Amino acid sequence: MEAEEILIEIRAGTGGDESSLFARDLFRMYSKYAQAQGWGQKVLDSNHNSLGGYKEIVFELHGPEVFKVMRNEGGVHRVQRIPRTEKQGRVHTSTATVAVLKKPKKTEINISPSELEIGTYKSSGAGGQYVNKTESAIRIRHIPSGIVVTSQAERNQLQNRETAMAILAARLLERKQAEQSSKVGGARNEQIGWAKRAEKMRTYNFPQDRITDHRIGKSWHGIESILNGKMDPIVRAFKKLEK
């Protein structure tokens, strides 16, 4: 079976620091599930906050049927739990968004150098610490579409440029496919919405130890287990629905 390559973008939504910590939880879930499947993975770009959460993270997965399995993860994920910083014991609601993009083959997207504005900046890690003192991070703006991508995962500027170009190509392919199918807006925009609490596709309710997918009307218990990569019950439910 031929291996596929996809990019997954996770971004903190409403809820401040708690949403960033939830984005980190989602990344852990996908990362551990990918390891269990034997898929390859690589972080392409990330932006931490002071608590170690992710304001955003972009990573690559590659393996058999990876898009078929992971495409159902796109959308707004909502978490309900008591944050570590909450002194009154109140349950807070936060969100994070997930977009799942196919990585295009070289022949699918042609990008002219004249269409790009490329800048550099210093890479920074968790807590604002510099990864290095050189401007190895890359920011690319695609002028015709207005899409802006960044990459700072590598110490080498050339590698970061290649990574940023791969992210840009994936977003342009998604836009092209959406236009060809006469849809309004891109698949990515449909998946992430505006990250508002009401626009949720799945809720992670910690006080009730329950995850509910609102699209298919199913719930599962054992949040900690699932967030540690035991996603099989969710994956099986979607496969059964598709059959």
Residue appearing with tokens 């390891």: 35
Tell me how many degrees the CA angle 6-119-114 measures, rounded to the nearest 5: 80
The segment with the largest mean pLDDT, out of 24-28, 113-117, 154-158, 159-163, is 24-28
What is the average pLDDT score of the chain?
85
Contact yes or no for 187/173 (Cβ under 8 A): no
Separation of alpha carbons 31 and 219, rounded Å: 22
Tell which residue, 197, 188, 195, has the closest CA to residue 13.
Answer: 195
- Least reliable range by pLDDT among 91-105, 123-137, 143-157, 166-180: 123-137
The arrangement of secondary structure in 3-105+184-242, i.e. its CATH architecture, is: 2-Layer Sandwich (3.30)
* pLDDT of amino acid 189: 58
pLDDT digits (tens, 9 = 90+) for 184-237: 445 555 555 544 444 689 999 999 999 999 999 999 999 999 999 999 999 999
Contact yes or no for 132/117 (Cβ under 8 A): no
Q: Which residue has the higher pLDDT, 52 or 94?
A: 94
Separation of alpha carbons 20 and 50, rounded Å: 10
Separation of alpha carbons 49 and 63, rounded Å: 30
Q: Is the pTM of this model over 0.85?
A: no
Take residue 83 and report the two structure tokens written for it.
């944050």
Burial (CB count within 10 angstroms: exposed 0-12, middle 13-18, buried 19+), residue 202: buried
Take residue 242 and report the two structure tokens written for it.
């598709």
pLDDT over 50 at 127, yes or no = no
What are the extents of the domains in the chain?
Answer: 3-105+184-242, 113-180
Separation of alpha carbons 61 and 176, rounded Å: 22
* pLDDT of amino acid 184: 44
Burial (CB count within 10 angstroms: exposed 0-12, middle 13-18, buried 19+), residue 87: exposed
How many residues make up the chain in this entry? 243
Q: How confident is the model at residue 132 (pLDDT cuts 50, 70, 90)?
A: low
Tell which residue, 60, 98, 54, has the closest CA to residue 76.
Answer: 98
* pLDDT of amino acid 130: 47
pLDDT digits (tens, 9 = 90+) for 10-38: 999 988 889 999 999 999 999 999 999 99
Fold observed for domain 113-180: Double Stranded RNA Binding Domain (3.30.160)
Separation of alpha carbons 150 and 222, rounded Å: 36
- Least reliable range by pLDDT among 3-12, 69-78, 86-95, 209-218: 86-95
